A and B are shown apart, each in its own frame.
Chain A
């Protein structure tokens, strides 16, 4: 049984009487410990799927199941599913120290031993423990994204949703963060659902990928099919060709 099952999902935003269908009839399933990619250009609805899972976007049709259960946004859910946001400059509270940011989820869920857990979390993402009481503005973009990853892992979730976790970082830092994510997935047996517009990143990280365009699923590819350029649709091929030179390396 798949850990994440999305069946015929539609998301419709309504503003001032106008309806915008951001996602239409998308289905996918991700088994436990798999890394699944969503790829597409801006506005293709890939981030909206993640937001719908988190309850941050209105689901108008279809179902989302986590571990066979229909999605409920309660405290049990947030301990299973966490998210890393795209922009590390916007996803950390500017007036909270790293210590506060990382110990907040522990306080919410009444988990003790905050000192040890915060130190462990910093070490796990490769940050010096002396950074514990720094503010976000005292860190670089890559370091901030490491903090955001540490925060997502504080509640020891099974599933981590990654919303373009490296697109706000420059190339060398991107590779470091992607390697960190791969290592954490291996160590902790995490399931990733990752959004990117960059097939090179997806190729590096994901076992399977769903290509999306205009809110609809275009084609699902395995890593082998991606590496062998065996696309059936023209859109997936054009997306592949746009980033092929970087995937070969």
Chain B
């Protein structure tokens, strides 16, 4: 039996095979969407850049060479040019991918989990629990995200870890909203009534029965929000409150390049392009995932 036959087996022999079979069908649906595949390719590229940074970088990203400063793109040895300290921009972008990726990864495993828990608990219990949790969510939503993140970083001190923390603390409210809305649609369904009638407690119901129904919309939302997270991380870097020099964070690089924006445009433009391409990749993938994961379109 080949692998695809095993995955397509209508009578799987284990839970794992059943789950992998469903994932395989989702992958086939995703593969039909060329834009989503383009987005996925960009993200895979980012992963490769980050993983093989020492191999792909042509120079040390923090080695300064003042004689070689502000070389235009295409100059010998520096195909994207150099910045105001003579550092190779390509190498800095490659190493910057690591920082961007770690910011994304940390935010993606914290904010959605927090939002999911708060949203499902609020939606499931209703009443005053819902009122309290959702008003807290409203308060967080009422602040402009960047300003709130700025305030947090100002309190905690600048640095990449604090930037991640600040972003995660400001990014969860939309997930709580999404999760609560999904919870409200499923909490009165017969399958929840059935498991309640079997004696299941709230923790089991929320964790095992409601969260799986909320997960797809939250995952879609996370992918679409990743562009925003990259921009906020870059924004904090740009304002000097995220990654600190000489780290090669993309927002920091744009900030350094703004002094030379008119004469030496490439210093700010190249990291800007990197941010633009990665954000675009996440948006394209998110749109494709919506078609694949949405419970209303899946499984038909």
Interfacial residues, chain A to chain B (CB-CB below 8 A): 54, 56, 74-75, 78-79, 82-83, 85-87, 90-97, 99-100, 104-105, 108-109, 128, 130-131, 133-135, 137-138, 148, 151, 154-155
Contact check, B14 vs A91: say whether CB atoms are below 8 A apart.
no
Report B4-42 CB contacts with A as 1/0, cut-off 8 Å.
Answer: 000000111111011000100000000000000000000
Can you list 17 contacts pairing A with B, beta carbon distance less than 8 Å?
A56-B193, A74-B199, A83-B194, A90-B189, A93-B209, A94-B295, A97-B18, A100-B15, A104-B198, A105-B198, A108-B200, A133-B12, A133-B13, A133-B14, A133-B17, A148-B194, A151-B194
Bound-state Cα–Cα, A133 to B195, Å:
19
Contact check, A134 vs B194: say whether CB atoms are below 8 A apart.
no
Tell which of A79, A99, A131 touches B15, judged by Cβ atoms closer than 8 Å. A99
State how many angstroms separate the Cβ of B300 from the closest Cβ of chain A: 8
Contact check, A54 vs B197: say whether CB atoms are below 8 A apart.
yes
Which residues 71-112 in B have Cβ within 8 Å of A in the complex?
none
Contact check, B190 vs A135: say whether CB atoms are below 8 A apart.
no
Q: In this assembly, does B246 line the interface, its C-beta being within 8 Å of a C-beta of chain A?
A: no
Q: Which residues of B contact A100 (CB under 8 A)?
A: 15
Closest to A90 in B: B190
Interfacial residues, chain B to chain A (CB-CB below 8 A): 10-15, 17-18, 22, 189-191, 193-195, 197-200, 204, 208-209, 212-213, 295, 299-300
Q: Which residues of A contact B199 (CB under 8 A)?
A: 74-75, 78-79, 105, 108-109
Bound-state Cα–Cα, A229 to B102, Å:
77
State how many angstroms separate the Cβ of B209 from the closest Cβ of chain A: 6
Bound-state Cα–Cα, A78 to B199, Å:
6
Q: Which residues of B contact A128 (CB under 8 A)?
A: 11
Bound-state Cα–Cα, A201 to B12, Å:
36
Contact check, B190 vs A134: say whether CB atoms are below 8 A apart.
no
**Majority SS of interface residues in chain B?**
helix
With A90-B191, A133-B17 known as contacts, the answer to whether A138 contacts B10 (CB < 8 A) is yes
Q: Which residues of B contact A82 (CB under 8 A)?
A: 197-198
State how many angstroms separate the Cβ of B219 from the closest Cβ of chain A: 13
Contact check, B198 vs A131: say whether CB atoms are below 8 A apart.
no
Bound-state Cα–Cα, A95 to B182, Å:
14
With A94-B295, A95-B213, A130-B11 known as contacts, the answer to whether A135 contacts B18 (CB < 8 A) is yes
State how many angstroms separate the Cβ of B185 from the closest Cβ of chain A: 12
Bound-state Cα–Cα, A85 to B199, Å:
16
State how many angstroms separate the Cβ of A92 from the closest Cβ of chain B: 6
Tell which of A91, A104, A133 touches B11, judged by Cβ atoms closer than 8 Å. A133
Contact check, A83 vs B197: say whether CB atoms are below 8 A apart.
yes
Contact check, B18 vs A134: say whether CB atoms are below 8 A apart.
yes
The residue in B17, B193, B199, B204 that gathers the most chain A C-beta atoms within 10 A of its C-beta is B199
Closest to A51 in B: B193
Closest to A92 in B: B191
Q: Which residues of B contact A90 (CB under 8 A)?
A: 189-191
With A91-B191, A108-B204 known as contacts, the answer to whether A155 contacts B12 (CB < 8 A) is no
Q: Which residues of A contact B200 (CB under 8 A)?
A: 104, 108
Contact check, B299 vs A134: say whether CB atoms are below 8 A apart.
no
Contact check, B198 vs A108: say whether CB atoms are below 8 A apart.
yes
Bound-state Cα–Cα, A85 to B190, Å:
7
State how many angstroms separate the Cβ of A134 from the closest Cβ of chain B: 7
Contact check, B197 vs A78: say whether CB atoms are below 8 A apart.
yes
Closest to B204 in A: A108
Bound-state Cα–Cα, A164 to B295, Å:
27
Contact check, B12 vs A134: say whether CB atoms are below 8 A apart.
yes
Closest to A152 in B: B194
State how many angstroms separate the Cβ of B299 from the closest Cβ of chain A: 4
Tell which of B11, B194, B212 touches A85, judged by Cβ atoms closer than 8 Å. B194
State how many angstroms separate the Cβ of B13 from the closest Cβ of chain A: 7
Contact check, B18 vs A93: say whether CB atoms are below 8 A apart.
no
Q: Which residues of A contact B209 (CB under 8 A)?
A: 93, 96
Bound-state Cα–Cα, A37 to B86, Å:
87
**15 more A-B contacts (CB under 8 A) besides A91-B190, A100-B15?**
A54-B193, A75-B199, A78-B199, A79-B199, A83-B197, A90-B190, A90-B191, A91-B191, A93-B209, A94-B295, A108-B200, A128-B11, A130-B11, A133-B15, A137-B299
Q: Which residues of A contact B213 (CB under 8 A)?
A: 94-95
Bound-state Cα–Cα, A151 to B199, Å:
13
State how many angstroms separate the Cβ of B163 from the closest Cβ of chain A: 35
State how many angstroms separate the Cβ of B98 from the closest Cβ of chain A: 35
Q: Which residues of B contact A108 (CB under 8 A)?
A: 198-200, 204
Q: Which residues of A contact B18 (CB under 8 A)?
A: 97, 133-135
